[in-house]
Structure 1
Amino acid sequence: MTAPTYEKLAAPTQGTRVTVDQRGHWSIPDDPIVVLIRGDGIGRDVGTVPGITTCAVRVLDAAVARAYGGKRRIVWFDAHAGDVAREMYYPHVKDEQINNLSEDDQRKLYLPDDTLKAFEYYKLGLKGPLTTPIGGGFRSINVYLRMRFDLYACVRPVRYFKGVEAPNKRADKVDMVIFRENTEDVYCGIEFKSGSDKAARLIALLREMGYEVLPSSGIGIKPISPERSKRLVRMAIQYALKRKLPSVTLMHKGNIMKFTEGAFKDWGYELAKAEFREQIVTEDEVNKGASKSGKVLINDRIADSMFQQIQLRP
């Protein structure tokens, strides 16, 4: 892949680009270049006072130096998004002009092509908090980045750090990794404002199908597909197997939304049995006498119950 040219960014003169081969294997050099968006609000430095993104960079730099004895380091490449990008690339565009722009031009105000090129080429990035764009076309920088680069898995380790106060008296037992789908369900950001033409058309269609929806309603759509559900569950099971974790739990609201949330649960079990049959056992199978020794337990919980169990039996 040819290195991109930029309108307002200067490409790093140090560091090495991270690469990914055709099988999806990452090659991380000793001095990887990581794209950095410091962000808006608390993400921005104010005078000599660092924002949270700068603080995060300092922590990461110190951690890498400590972990590798100074033999490895991150080379940060500052790019821009949000209000900072708008100020830099389009300072002449006034708020009242934004709704007259096309959706793609609205996107460029807050997420310039320079930044997208940098992310695409260097593969790794750290992003601070970003503003909600003004205007009715382009609504979310985060959603756009997820969809553009297919960032489908939000992976969040959650564990207790000794010495930190916590309201749960058994917080030291909390140790889990959450995998959340980022590119569909409500996170794909398909919604239509109350009173808009698109909302009215969808409401009319729903009423034709026999659903009572108030004409003044805003509408949100949550698509859930077998393909994207299964790849998320696949990643979670692979993660558990690699790290010898005891279980993978499919959390859902299938008791209410059977054809989306319930289907997610069913597709998860299908994937587990089809691709990992010798390495997993389901909770139902264990209840019928199967051994779970040496295998990853696959079970599911309704969201309400899951949160209760996290509190009562972490």
Structure 2
Amino acid sequence: METRTVYFIEGDGIGPEVWAAGRPVLDAAVAKAFGGQKKLEWKEILAGKKAFDQTGNYLPDATMETLKSADLAFKGPLETPVGGGFRSLNVTLRQVLDLYACIRPIRYFQGIESPVKRPDLVDMVVFRENTEDVYAGIEWASGTPEAKKLIAFLRDELGKNVDETAGIGIKPMTPAGSKRLVRKAIRFALDQNKPSVTMAHKGNIMKYTEGAFRAWGYEMAKAEFAAEVMTEEEAKAGAKKRLILNDRIADAMFQNVLMYPEQYSVIATPNLNGDYLSDALAAQVGGLGLAPGVNMSERLAFFEPTHGTAPSIAGKDMANPGSLVLSGAMLLEHIGWHDAAKLIHKAVEKVLSGKQVTVDLAGQIPGSTQVGCKKFGELLQAAL
């Protein structure tokens, strides 16, 4: 038997519910696809409220040490403790473990009622830089000594006038951070035979951060992928290579993914743009309840549902385990267990067509019947 170890964090809020409903679906898909010859071995590690209750620490050292040597991990949603010393548990994990690529595939499932006319044309994978931009942002509040000192420095040393009452923020972006994100997007696109990678940025205004992201992406592609990747201009001039690398201004990109989604397959973007774009795309195909995701370093793939802890419905059997299940399908694809992942995607489509769905989806599927989190997981497992 081939066994792959997956370290998991149950999560806060609805985390235990979606985990209990979703994990059996993943195990059943593997068993059915491979006849007992492959198996996921789940090992729990602690973070969040459960960790605090048991250890007095929201992010125990033992958890971080385990993750630093792991290659596969899975987590439910984590809430950030108020006054707990963390800007965000999720951001802390991403920065300490160098999970620099947030990867979110967005595709349409038949039966969902969408706010757009052709949601079936949405089939994109967003690569969002995870450690720089606003996630590495440095801020000082309006009126603080630090803000005043920086404003004075900008005025006196650099000749830049900033209102004395302004709050100040800095968003660092580096050549290395930008290049490795675009590099991962290009490698994925080549491996999956995708036609293009589009860099989405606001470089027309922020020329030395987001504009540099664009320039560094082209520079890296020319140096490392010259035999396989061409620019849009080269393609128009008649070049014949496997992949087009192009770019779009962020505001135009938002319009384009609504109006011309069939033109885009892989998107590479700085942090904040990726946050907006991935959620906006998810809204076109059913919302975050069906939006999977993974955060990756060069070694660790850390899968997670993209929704939050949803404390208002926690413990009420109302949550949707779909995002967790589809994140599990991503994990199976990542390790090459494609037959099991295909079973999961077909099961999701079958259950949605049967119109027995959780409350978040019931409002988007005409004539549907609302079921609980546990029942939805059981339906998915039966549909395998």
Q: Which residue of 1 aligns with 2:94?
A: 146
Q: After TM superposition, list the pairs within 5 Å mapping 1:1-314 onto structure 2.
A: 30-43=2-15, 45=16, 51-90=17-56, 109-135=57-83, 137-208=85-156, 209-287=158-236, 289-292=237-240, 294-314=241-261
- CA offsets 1:190-232 (integer angstroms, 9 cap, x no match): 3334455544433333343333434444433211111111111
Q: Structure 2 vs 1, CA of residues 122 and 278 (structure 1 numbering), >3 Å: closer, same or farther?
A: closer
Structure 1 residue 147, shift from structure 2 partner: 1.5
Q: Which runs of 5+ in 2 are unaligned?
A: 262-384
Q: Structure 2 vs 1, CA of residues 135 and 213 (structure 1 numbering), >3 Å: closer, same or farther?
A: farther
2:14 aligned counterpart, secondary structure = helix
Paired residues, number: 260
State the Cα RMSD in Å.
2.1
Structure 1 residue 264, shift from structure 2 partner: 0.6
Percent identity over paired residues: 54
More displaced stretch, 300-309 vs 53-62: 53-62
Q: Which amino acid aligns with 2:32?
A: R
Q: Which residue of 2 aligns with 1:94?
A: none
Question: For 2:100 and 2:37, how far apart are their aligned partners in 1?
Answer: 32
Q: Which residue of 1 aligns with 2:358?
A: none
Question: For 1:188 and 1:170, how far apart are their aligned partners in 2?
Answer: 36
Q: Which residue of 2 aligns with 1:25?
A: none
Question: For 1:202 and 1:125, how far apart are their aligned partners in 2?
Answer: 41
Q: Is the 8 A contact 2:137 2:172 kept in 1?
A: no
Q: Is the 8 A contact 1:82 1:111 kept in 2?
A: yes
Structure 1 residue 111, shift from structure 2 partner: 0.5
Q: Which amino acid aligns with 1:241?
A: L
- CA offsets 1:28-74 (integer angstroms, 9 cap, x no match): x822221111111221x3xxxxx223333233223323332332222
Q: Is the 8 A contact 1:85 1:112 kept in 2?
A: yes
Q: Is the 8 A contact 1:143 1:188 kept in 2?
A: no
Report which of the two has the higher share of helix: 2
Structure 1 length-normalised TM = 0.76
Q: Structure 2 vs 1, CA of residues 56 and 268 (structure 1 numbering), >3 Å: closer, same or farther?
A: same
1:156 aligned counterpart, secondary structure = strand
Q: Is the 8 A contact 2:8 2:74 kept in 1?
A: yes
Higher relative contact order (CA 8 A, sep 6+): 2
1:73 aligned counterpart, secondary structure = strand
Q: Is the 8 A contact 2:80 2:86 kept in 1?
A: no
Q: Which amino acid aligns with 2:12?
A: D
- CA offsets 1:151-187 (integer angstroms, 9 cap, x no match): 1111111111222222222111111111111111112
Q: Which amino acid aligns with 1:123?
A: D
Question: For 1:256 and 1:303, how far apart are their aligned partners in 2?
Answer: 11
Q: Is the 8 A contact 1:143 1:189 kept in 2?
A: no
Q: Structure 2 vs 1, CA of residues 57 and 286 (structure 1 numbering), >3 Å: closer, same or farther?
A: same
Question: For 2:242 and 2:30, how far apart are their aligned partners in 1?
Answer: 34
Question: For 1:160 and 1:240, how far apart are their aligned partners in 2?
Answer: 19
Question: For 1:248 and 1:277, how far apart are their aligned partners in 2?
Answer: 14
Question: For 2:188 and 2:97, how far apart are their aligned partners in 1?
Answer: 21
2:258 aligned counterpart, secondary structure = helix
Question: For 2:21 and 2:140, how far apart are their aligned partners in 1?
Answer: 37
Question: For 1:34 and 1:149, how far apart are their aligned partners in 2?
Answer: 16
Structure 1 residue 136, shift from structure 2 partner: 7.3
Question: For 2:238 and 2:42, how far apart are their aligned partners in 1?
Answer: 51
Q: Which runs of 5+ in 1 are unaligned?
A: 1-28, 46-50, 91-108
